[in-house]
């Protein structure tokens, strides 16, 4: 795995998330939910930002961060501009964290074992990228269905 390429993918898709948020015609719809859609685009965005700040920024880059998952899923109606500012901040954190990470560390064991077994940092980074894109797809669907 090449950390420059992985950073490129994260940056590309963080930009795509920004495009999705800006594509909402009605800002209030960022926070809409439906009987079959439990999480709003705003909450999913906050969740993605929190996830990247914790697992890449804090764990790998040493950026101070205290996660507030309650806010990620409980906040409602925050302005689009605030979400966009958080995205810009996390883009810088991800870039600095990944590009300063020594490639030899990719084989080190991650601090986390979400699947019930230990995993390498490289494996965990791929997992985080997949997680990000899963929710990015949900946001795209959310926008097309509820805006």
**Taking the domain 3-146, which CATH number applies?**
1.20.120.450
Q: Nearest Cα to 101, choosing from 55, 51, 132? A: 55
Tell me the per-residue pLDDT of 50-65, one tens digit each, with 9 for 90 and over. 999 999 999 999 999 9
The full set of domain ranges for the chain reads 3-146
Strands (E), the chain: none
**Residue pLDDT, tens place only, 39-92:** 999 999 999 999 999 999 999 999 999 999 999 999 999 999 999 999 999 999
Determine the pLDDT at residue 117: 87
On average, the pLDDT of the chain sits at 96
Category of 21 on φ-ψ map: left (φ > 0), alpha (ψ -120 to 50) or beta = alpha
Residue 77 to residue 43: CA distance in whole angstroms = 10
Q: How many residues does the chain have?
A: 147
User: Under 8 Å CB-to-CB from 133, ≥6 apart: which residues?
Assistant: 13
> What's the pTM value of the predicted model, to 2 decimals?
0.95
What's the CA gap between 94 and 55, in Å, rounded?
10
């Amino acid at each position: 795995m090449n950390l420059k390429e992985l950073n490129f993918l994260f940056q590309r898709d963080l930009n795509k998330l920004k495009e999705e948020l800006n594509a909402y015609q009605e800002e209030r719809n960022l926070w809409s939910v439906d009987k079959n859609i439990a999480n709003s685009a705003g909450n999913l965005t906050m969740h993605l930002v929190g996830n990247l700040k914790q697992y890449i920024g804090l764990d790998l880059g040493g950026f101070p961060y205290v996660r507030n998952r309650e806010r990620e899923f409980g906040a409602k109606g925050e302005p689009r501009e605030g979400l966009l500012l958080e995205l810009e901040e996390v883009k810088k954190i991800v870039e600095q964290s990944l590009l300063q990470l020594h490639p030899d560390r990719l084989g080190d064991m991650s601090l986390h074992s979400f699947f019930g077994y230990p995993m390498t940092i490289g494996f965990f980074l791929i997992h985080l990228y997949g997680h990000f894109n899963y929710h990015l797809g949900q946001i795209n669907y959310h926008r097309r269905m509820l805006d």
